Amino acid sequence: MQDHLLSELGQQLRVDSVRAAAAAGSGHPTSSMSAADLMAVLLANHLRYDFEQPRHPGNDHLVFSKGHASPLLYSMFKAAGAISDEELLTFRKLGSLLEGHPTPRLPWVGVATGSLGQGLPVGVGLALAHKRLERPDGANSRVWVLCGDSELAEGSVWEAFEHGCYEHLDNLTAIIDVNRLGQHGPTRHEWDLGAYARRMHAFGWHTIEIDGHDVAAVDRAYGEAASTVGRPTAIIAHTVKGRGVASVENREGMHGKPLPNPEEAVAELGGVREMAVPVLGPPAVSAGPPPGDGHLSLPRFDSGERVATRDAFGQALAALGTARGDVVVLDGEVGDSTRTEFFAKEHPERFFECYIAEQQLVAAAVGMQACGWLPYASTFAAFFTRAYDFVRMAAISRADLNLVGSHAGVAIGEDGPSQMGLEDLAAFRAVHGSTVLYPCDANQTAQLTAAMAEQSGIRYLRTTRGKTPVLYPPSERFPIGGSKLVRATDGDRVTVAAAGVTVPEAIAAADRLAGEGIPVRVIDLYSVKPVDAQTLRAAAELTGRLITVEDHHPEGGLGDAVLEAFCDGRPAPRTVRLAVRTMPVSATPEQQLSEAGIDAEAIAAAARELVGAAT
C-alpha cells in the first residue's frame, strides 16, 4: 500500500479507536492512537495472515503486549474485514467478544494480554515453536509483538530480550511504542529512544530507531527486521499519545479514558473512513507436531521399592515423548533435580532450557501451546511463585499447559524453607479450571504424568525429592478426580485424608492404631482438584471423624480441598487439620515431618484424641 493510503489507514484506525471507546464509555483510545500508524503499515504491507483460517500453520502472530490498546487491535480486525462496524461498537459490552483486553475468545487472538510485560516473553515461545520445532530455517511465520514503553520496567521483558537473542530468534520483532506517557505521568526514559536502544542492543538485538508516525520509515523498518538474520529486531518508535487530536495529544491524565468530545475528535481526524485492507496471505506450509510411535510404555516399579516420585515423573515423561510427537519440555536449569533430563537425553530436539527465568519458562510454554504443542514446564514448586501471574494469564488465555513442581514441602529436608514449596497447592487450586495432582508413589506418578496430557486447562503435578515406598502395582489406574482407599474396614472409627509424602505416614499411623483397637480409614487424595467428594462424604458418614494431613501450609491446600466437599449443606465430620504451621528450618526429612506435626506419630495422636473425645 502506498504511503498516502497508509497514512489514511492510520487515521481510520484512530477514528475507530475513538468511536469504540466512546460507545463503551471506557477504554484506552489515546494509547491506541499513538500506535495507529505502526499497526496500519504492519497490517497493510507486512502481516501475513488468513483471517478466515486463524489456525493456518503459515500465519504470522501479532501479540498486543500493551493489551489495553485493544481498540486499535479491534479496529485492525474491522479494516481486515474480520468484524463489522456494528460489532466494533459493542466494545466492552456484556456478551461482546471485544473485551477490554484481548482474549482468545476471538479466533484471531492467540493469547490473552493485559498484564503488562507478558507479550514479549510469550512471543519468544511462539518464535521458538516456529524456529526450532516446525521449520528450523525460520523462513515462514514471523512473530510481531507490540509493546508499550511503560511495560519495559517489567523484569519479565528483559528475560525475554535475553532469551530471544540467545536462541537467535530472527523471526521475532518487538515494536516499541514510545509515547512517553504512562498511566500516571511520564515513563522512566520518556522519549530517549537511545536509552532503550542501548539496553536492547546490549542484549544482542538488532535495533532500529524511527519516527513512529512516518509511515515510510515504519515500512522500511519492518522490511529491515524481516531481512535481519541471526538475531531478533526491536523497532523503537517515537510516537505521541493521543496523536491527531490536539486536546489530548501528549497530555497527562488522559490514560484509560474515552475522549471528552469524541465527535469533535473524529472530525479533527478527518471523519469516519471505510478502507478495506487486503491482508497478505500466509505461505503454503505443511507444519504441525509430528506423530510419535503411538505406543506408550510407562515405567513400571515393583511394590516395596523406594523410588522418588520425581524420578518416576522423568521416566514417564521420556516415555510419553516417544509415544507423542507433540510433547515438548521446558526446564528452569534444574533438569537434574526435576528429572526432565531424562526427556532431554531421549528427545533433545524437543527440550528447551530456559535457565533461571521462571517467568520466561512459563511464557514460552504458553506460546508453544498456542502453536499446537503440548508443553510440560518444570522447576522447583517454590519457584513457580515467580511466574504466578503468567499462570493466571495462561488460564485467561484458555491455555493447555502442564506444570510440574518438584522438591515440594518440608520433606526436602536440609535445604531449608527457601527451597520448600509450601504454598503451591493453594496457588494452583485458585487458578480457574485447573487440575492439581499430588501422587504418593512411583507408579501413581507415572500414570498421572500421562493422564495430564489428556486434560484441558492448567494442570499441576507436585513431585517429591526423597524416595517413597511403592504402594501400588503398575496395573493400578488413577482417574483424575478419584482417590484410593488404602486402608478400610466396615468398623473404621477415624478417616485420614492424605496425599504425597503423608500417605505412607498415614498408613504407618493406621497400622499402629489398629494394634490399639482403633481401626482407621486412609484415603489417598492424589487428585487435590478435582477432589473425590463422594468418597470423602461416604467416609465421613461412616466414621464421623476426619483428619487431614498435608506437607503444605494449612491455607488453601489439601485440608481446604477436603472441607469444600462438605460445603453444600451436608454435615461435616469432626475434623482435625494437620499441616505445616510454623516456619521450617534446616533438618532431616524425618525431623521436618516430626517438627511440622505431620508424621505418623502426630497422625496417631490426633486420631487417639478424636476417638477419646467421643467416648
| Active site (catalytic) residues | 358
Nearest to 63 by CA among 133, 145, 131, 125: 145
Q: What does each C-alpha distance from 574 to 60, 202, 517 come to in angstroms?
A: 58, 62, 20
Alpha-carbon separation of residue 76 from 146, 201, 327 (angstroms) = 13, 30, 34
> Assign residue 558 a region: left if phi > 0, alpha if psi is -120 to 50, beta otherwise?
alpha
Residues in contact with 504: Cβ distance below 8 Å, sequence separation at least 6, in sequence order:
440, 468, 469, 471
Instruction: Find out whether the peptide bond into 530 is cis, omega within 30 degrees of 0.
Output: yes
Instruction: Collect all residues with Cβ–Cβ distance below 8 Å to 287 and sequence separation of at least 6.
Output: 57, 58, 134, 135, 140
Question: Alpha carbon of 531 to those of 477, 483, 534: distances in Å?
Answer: 16, 8, 9
DSSP lists the bridge partners of residue 151 as: none
Under a CB-based contact definition with an 8 Å cutoff, are residues 340 and 317 in contact?
yes
Cell of 412: 526436602
Q: Which residues contact 120 (CB under 8 A, 6 or more apart)?
A: 63, 65, 145, 147, 156, 157, 160, 161, 164, 174
Taking the C-alpha atoms of residue 36 and residue 46, their distance in angstroms, rounded to an integer, is: 15
Residues 6+ apart with CB under 8 A from 52: none
Taking the C-alpha atoms of residue 396 and residue 606, their distance in angstroms, rounded to an integer, is 41
